[in-house]
């Protein structure tokens, strides 16, 4: 045992605690949903979950996962190319491609791995990658790990700056623009039609991570491209199964069949990491089916998110504008966000996470509130009342 490693780690933790930035996660002792139960037995209203459609504990999704467990076992015990590809993987991948408007898709154990697979495979030493400044950490790390010959960060959704940057990249064999569809900390969306036009004009590849958009955006829930009228026009889409699509785990890359086959053949997260557990694939496939057949869930989600924003404004608060299910309120310092989050949990029975540095820049700490289609109108009213109380 290296004693210095232990003491250095302890000192770092003590420093976080003294500055009020140490994260202490709540422990749930019941299924995920708008209402759940903490380990100490207290009932809570959950308003920080990515379970946007309320499907994580839906009996049909649970039953599909259980059938997958009984029929195929607990795990794949292999990577895909050895003996880890099961029939439910192929069925889910067909359904995902159909959902997001592409020819094919490939699943991974997380969208972190999906982003790593897509970006590190497609970006070589003859490639320049241009990444939005507020992209998710998985994109940032994937770009860092890639062999791209040049890496550029452009200002958040600044199309003029991106256009200017691309204009000077003509010598590169491949130009890749990568962006979130819905930005998880801001709740705003990328201007995909403009990005599609820009990339076509500069012969660039557009990669969009739509993890917070699929199941949420558009009247049909097919994601941000559908909501903005460019379904089927994005070169490469990535997304998650761990949010609206059942909430368990997993991610995917979707795109042209040739690109997906290339990833199948050479992407390191697929070649060197076990395949998505089959029970998870079965549950996610049922979640996709429910999304496609019960569009009223998406309508309800949109209505609740709008009511939440309106209610917060009526209470004198200032949530960031947007049309997504993510409703952030900027509170300033990280310690204040943590304190408000603790007061919501301890005094009001509400779970809303406070985000601060290093997740967001210093001075922009926030409460990130998230709507859930299974919430009731009374849930929204109680949520607004509680947030107003701790913000006063």
Q: Do domains 27-57+295-391 and 59-293 have the same CATH topology?
A: no
> Per CATH, is 59-293 categorized as 3.40.640.10?
yes
pTM metric for this prediction:
0.96
Q: Which pLDDT belongs to residue 79?
A: 96
| Low-confidence spans in the chain with pLDDT less than 70 | none
- As a whole number of angstroms, the distance between CA 306 and CA 279 comes to 34
Q: Give the active site residues.
A: 184, 212, 243
Architecture label for domain 27-57+295-391: Alpha-Beta Complex (3.90)
Handedness of CA 120, 125, 97, 213 (dihedral sign): positive
Q: Would you list the domain boundaries of the chain?
A: 27-57+295-391, 59-293
Q: Which pLDDT belongs to residue 98?
A: 98
Q: Which pLDDT belongs to residue 6?
A: 97
- As a whole number of angstroms, the distance between CA 43 and CA 351 comes to 10
Q: Which pLDDT belongs to residue 21?
A: 82
pLDDT in tens, 210-232: 999 999 999 999 999 999 999 99
Residues β-bridged to residue 242: none
Q: Which pLDDT belongs to residue 359?
A: 81
Q: Which pLDDT belongs to residue 358?
A: 80
């Amino acid at each position: 045992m290296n004693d210095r490693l232990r003491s250095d780690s302890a000192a770092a933790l003590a420093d976080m605690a003294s500055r009020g930035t140490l994260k202490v996660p709540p422990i749930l002792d019941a299924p995920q949903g708008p209402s759940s139960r903490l380990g100490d037995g207290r009932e809570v209203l959950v308003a920080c979950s990515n379970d946007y459609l309320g499907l994580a504990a839906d009996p049909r999704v649970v039953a599909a996962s259980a059938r997958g467990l009984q029929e195929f076992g607990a795990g794949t015990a292999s990577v895909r190319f050895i003996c880890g590809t099961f029939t439910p993987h192929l069925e889910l991948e067909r359904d995902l491609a159909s959902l997001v408007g592409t020819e094919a898709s490939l699943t991974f154990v997380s969208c972190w791995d999906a982003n790593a697979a897509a970006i590190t495979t497609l970006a070589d030493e003859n490639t320049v990658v241009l990444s939005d400044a507020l992209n998710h950490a998985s994109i940032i790390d994937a770009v860092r790990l890639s062999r791209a010959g040049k890496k550029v960060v452009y200002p958040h959704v600044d199309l003029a700056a991106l256009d200017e940057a691309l204009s000077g990249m003509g010598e590169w064999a491949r130009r890749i623009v990568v962006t979130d569809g819905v930005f998880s900390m801001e709740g705003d969306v990328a201007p995909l039609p403009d990005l599609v036009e820009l990339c076509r004009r500069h012969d660039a590849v557009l990669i969009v991570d739509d993890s917070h958009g699929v199941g949420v955006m558009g009247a049909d829930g097919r994601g941000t491209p559908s909501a903005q009228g460019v379904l089927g026009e994005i070169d490469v889409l990535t997304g998650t199964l761990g949010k609206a699509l059942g909430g368990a785990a997993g991610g995917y890359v979707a795109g042209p069949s040739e690109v997906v086959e290339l990833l199948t053949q050479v992407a390191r997260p697929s070649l060197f990491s076990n395949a998505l557990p089959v029970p998870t694939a079965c549950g996610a496939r049922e979640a996709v089916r429910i999304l496609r057949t019960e569009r009223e869930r998406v309508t309800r989600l949109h209505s609740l998110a709008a009511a939440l924003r309106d209610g917060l404004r009526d209470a004198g608060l200032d949530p960031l504008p947007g049309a997504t299910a993510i409703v952030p309120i900027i509170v300033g310092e990280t310690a204040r966000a943590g304190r408000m989050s603790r007061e919501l949990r301890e005094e009001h029975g509400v779970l809303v996470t406070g985000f601060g540095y290093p997740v967001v820049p210093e001075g922009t700490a926030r409460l990130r509130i998230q709507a859930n289609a299974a919430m009731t109108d009374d849930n929204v009213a109680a949520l607004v009342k509680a947030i107003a109380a701790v913000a006063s």
